[in-house]
Structure 1
Amino acid sequence: MAQVLEFKLPDLGEGLTEAEIVRWLVQVGDVVAVDQPVVEVETAKAMVEVPCPYGGVVTARFGEEGTELPVGAPLLTVAVGEPSEAPEPAAEDRADGSGSGNVLVGYGTGGARAARRRRIRPAPLAPAGQAASPAAARDTVTAAPAPAAGPASSAAAPGRASRVARASRAARADAAAASVSQASAPADGPVPVISPLVRRLARQHGVDLRRLTGSGPEGLILRADVEKALRAKEAAGTDGVPAAAPAGIGAAAAGATGAVPLGTPPAARPAGVPGTDAGGRIPLKGIRGAVADKLTRSRREIPDATCWVDADATELLRTRAAMNAAGGPKISLLALLARICTAALARYPQLNATVDTEAREVVLLDRVHLGFAAQTDRGLVVPVVRDAHTRNAEALTDEFARLTEAARAGTLTPADLTGGTFTLNNYGVFGVDGSTPIINHPEAAMLGVGRIVPKPWVHEGELAVRQVVQLSLTFDHRVCDGGTAGGFLRHVADCVEQPAMLLRTL
């Protein structure tokens, strides 16, 4: 007897209470295997694919792309188990004698191998002159199919699994019929977009991603493609909003995305949205919302202070060039700075700490989990290098490269983004010299590194042009006083100016 099981959104990491559906990987009626990814969701920490613990036929999906679901909410239902009798094969499958591939796990018709993999059929081409709403096909596919009555020719009433299988085929047939009546609109299905920022930008300005041709790998739609489409609209005088848009369309867009498209006239603004010149609203959710909450808490709870110093980085750059010229894997400048950080933290452990506010104690940590700030299309993230104090320059370079690539691809796991004890912030990549950053709560300090630029410098008693960098340390004044913070920063600057000092800690 078949059984319909409900798969709920699981707990995806510490402190995560909700996730946004980015892309469905299965359709109603698809056959899924145990642990097969069924949906791609974005949490406040990362974008992950969620595997289904059941194997069988997908009978319903809950939530469209862009919908936020709380942890524990239903994601989809799957019919599993073995029916008491075989479902009647569809005519389209009986034609070649292979039988239907949409069967339950553990049960086969004529095509047992086809049942082990999901079948994907191309959508029929739309005949010219016919039009239908694209939402019709999508709603048909995502709606939960109602149990259908068994055929009159059956001697006994079929089991529930047989009804589910026939309902699944009926849902696919209805979706195909809806797509046939669609005119020139593109076929429904996943859009080749990875970045939620690109999706959000398109929604805010009314750009149909299905009409864009991506310039990325394998047709991937990039932010540049959306911006190009916006420029084309502006050149045509539409400014991202159709000139003949009916009344209320701006309100619908604002209700769906929380933002008012650029150029929306005051009369078309939804109720409750002030008629300012801000150009729109961006919801504080996902990674952006998590960052906002964390920085607000840090500013509210941590009495921070900042000190800074200029350092001559000429010898550090020469040392790195000599290391890379000797052959082997290339060493990154960030890895050398990280190695200097861990050496300084060994000398000043008060800065590798956290504050227990309830016990009113400073908790010194015996391991350095080094976070580093990384700016991505999805916002600011801080991946963490575990046990950075035990890694050499080569190992640090490899780990920085791995985490940076995962951050850009949006595949960082919650474990990659939590547990940091000290943060290295290389804001010099943005072309700035200094900064007073907000501490990454609940850490106690953050080292900032500005750009390295040639400047006049007194070297060995003479004026010379040297490569100078500004270093800053923002620290929690509860864990130490200025003497400790200044000693840490001066030691970092001395190692930058004379990298041979690191030999003392090897």
Structure 2
Amino acid sequence: MSDRDNRIEPFSPRRRGTVDYMRTAGRRSNVHGLVEVDVTEARARIRTAEEETGEQLSFTAFVVCCLARALGDHPRINAYRDWRGRVHVFDDVDVNVLVETTVGGERIGVPHLIRGAHERSFRSIHDEIRTAQESPDPTALSRLESMALRLPGFVRRLVWRLPQWFPRRWKDMAGTVAVSSVGMFGRGGGWAVSPTNYTLQVTVGGISRRPRLIDGELTTREFLALTVTFDHDVVDGAPAARFVQRLSDLLEDAHGISTVDER
């Protein structure tokens, strides 16, 4: 059997960072909830705005806006436990969001930190995401970062233990919650389940069209697949369920999109 068609490529330093993150996240007490949310109204408003203005509004910005509002109503979800067993509850909602951008002619997702999302309008979050998407190569590493990713694995992975050791330092570096938009890379419904170093991560999956009975009439609706991941060491089941219900209500009500001109 010939192996002439095989190709050996170097393993990039950035991929090492991803491996370190996933290995460390797998040690946490992650609990995943698979949720479907009717986003027909939100999608309709986004399409209407595009038809009227020619501007495509960011669906990820909409999710971030709803998430930040839900955390404002349930602040104890926005918390971390440190190595001494104390729980740090943060007032600021700093969202680490996966933004789709073009690097080297290829569409990829890169992390971007949206500070103070609980005090931001949908439009403000949308504008920041669009600016991040247009930034020149946001994946470029500094010299110090490149050197750090070449350290031995057990040393590199120490940084991902910051949430458990120093929650404030973790917040400054990586935010308090995460939104990962896996659905941006495909079409149709479906969930994605991933470990995380955050107390709360929302993974946006695909959108599917299915019938739903509303006021006695059967209509076709658009359903968003969401994976809501909690650190069970910090968040119990009942508060998590109440938070998910609040988030679902905000998404179904198209929270924030009715005021797209608000800055």
TM-score (norm 2): 0.73
Q: In the alignment, does 2:190 pair up with 1:433?
A: yes
- Kindly state the Cα deviation for residue 374 of structure 1 after the two structures are TM-superposed: 4.2
Q: 2:93 aligns with which of 368, 378, 394?
A: 368
Question: In structure 2, what is the Cα distance between the partners aligned to 1:380 and 1:326?
Answer: 28
Q: 1:295 aligns with which of 22, 32, 52?
A: 22
Map Cα deviations across residues 379-430 of structure 1 (whole Å, 9 max, x no partner): 764221122222212211121122233375534778xx93321111111123
Match of residue 211 from structure 2:
456
* Counterpart contact for 2:110–2:139, Cα < 8 Å: no
| Cα drift, residue 500 of structure 1 | 5.3
- Per-residue CA deviation, residues 97-154 of structure 1 (Å, 9 max, x unaligned), is xxxxxxxxxxxxxxxxxxxxxxxxxxxxxxxxxxxxxxxxxxxxxxxxxxxxxxxxxx
Using structure 1 for the length normalisation, give the TM-score.
0.40
Going from structure 1 to structure 2, the CA distance change for 1:492 and 1:286 (only over 3 Å counts) comes to: same
**1:239 positional shift:** 4.7
Equivalent of 1:476 in 231, 239, 256:
231
Do the aligned residues in 1 keep the contact of 2:62 with 2:257 (CA within 8 Å)?
Answer: no
- Which moved further from structure 2: 476-485 or 489-498? 489-498
The AA in structure 2 aligned to 1:433 is G
SS in 1 for 2:132: helix
2:69 corresponds, among 320, 325, 343, to 343
Name the counterpart of 1:389: 118
Structure 1 residues 239 and 409: CA distance shift in structure 2, 3 A: farther
Q: Percent identity?
A: 24
**CA–CA distance in structure 1, aligned partners of residues 87 and 125 of structure 2:** 28
Give the distance between the partners of 1:426 and 1:313, measured in 2 at CA. Answer: 15
**Larger strand proportion, structure 1 or 2?**
2
Q: Which amino acid letter does the alignment assign opposite residue 383 of structure 1? A: H
After superposition, the C-alpha distances for 1:236-259 in whole angstroms (9 at most, x for unaligned) are x9956xxxxxxxxxxxxxxxxxxx
Deviation at 1:280, TM superposition (A): 4.2
Work out which of the two has the higher radius of gyration on C-alpha atoms and give 1 or 2.
Answer: 1
Offset from partner CA, 1:79-106 (integer Å, 9 cap, x none): xxxxxxxxxxxxxxxxxxxxxxxxxxxx
- Partners of 1:280 and 1:365 lie apart in 2 by 46
* Partner Cα separation in structure 2 for residue 478 and residue 409 of structure 1: 33
CA drift of 1:355 comes to 2.1
Residues 324-357 of structure 1 show CA distances to partners (whole Å, capped at 9, x for unaligned) of 455496532111111101101101112222221x
Higher relative contact order (CA 8 A, sep 6+): 2
Instruction: Quote how far apart the aligned CAs of 1:501 are.
Output: 8.5
Within a 5 Å distance, the mapping from 1:113-152 to structure 2 comes to none
Indicate conservation of the 8 Å contact 1:314/1:468, yes or no. yes
Taking the aligned partners of 2:136 and 2:23, their CA distance within structure 1 comes to: 23
Match of 2:21, as an amino acid?
K
- In structure 2, do the counterparts of structure 1 residues 458 and 370 end up closer, same or farther at CA, with 3 Å as the change threshold? same
Q: Is the 8 A contact 1:457 1:464 kept in 2?
A: yes
Q: What letter corresponds to residue 384 of structure 1 in structure 2?
A: L
Letter paired with 2:41: E
Deviation at 1:453, TM superposition (A): 2.0
- Give the aligned partner of residue 159 of structure 2: none
Structure 2 vs 1, CA of residues 286 and 379 (structure 1 numbering), >3 Å: closer, same or farther? farther
Structure 1 Cα separation of the partners of residues 54 and 123 of structure 2: 9
Distance 1:412 1:331 in 2: 29
Output the amino acid matched with 1:287: R
**Whole-angstrom CA distance in 2 between matches of 1:309 and 1:451:** 12
Matches of 1:501 and 1:291, distance apart in 2: 33
Aligned length: 224
Residues 93-492 of structure 1 mapped to structure 2, 5 A cutoff = 239=4, 262=6, 280=8, 282-283=10-11, 285-300=12-27, 302-325=28-51, 327=53, 330-356=56-82, 358-374=83-99, 381-406=110-135, 408=137, 410-411=139-140, 418-431=173-186, 433-439=190-196, 441=197, 443-492=198-247
Stretches of structure 1 that go unaligned for 5 or more consecutive residues are 1-236, 241-261, 263-278
Maintained 8 Å contact 2:206/2:225:
yes
C-alpha distance in 1, partners of 2:3/2:17? 35
Shift of 1:482: 1.3
Aligned equivalents of 1:355, 1:478: Cα separation in 2? 8
Per-residue CA deviation, residues 188-225 of structure 1 (Å, 9 max, x unaligned), is: xxxxxxxxxxxxxxxxxxxxxxxxxxxxxxxxxxxxxx
Q: What is the letter of the counterpart of residue 14 of structure 2?
A: I
Kept in 2: contact 1:307–1:472 (CA 8 A): yes
Deviation at 1:319, TM superposition (A): 2.3
Flag structure 2 segments of 5+ consecutive residues without an equivalent.
146-171
The letter for the 1-side match of 2:215 is E
- Measured in 2, the distance between the counterparts of 1:325 and 1:378 equals 25
> RMSD between aligned alpha carbons?
3.1
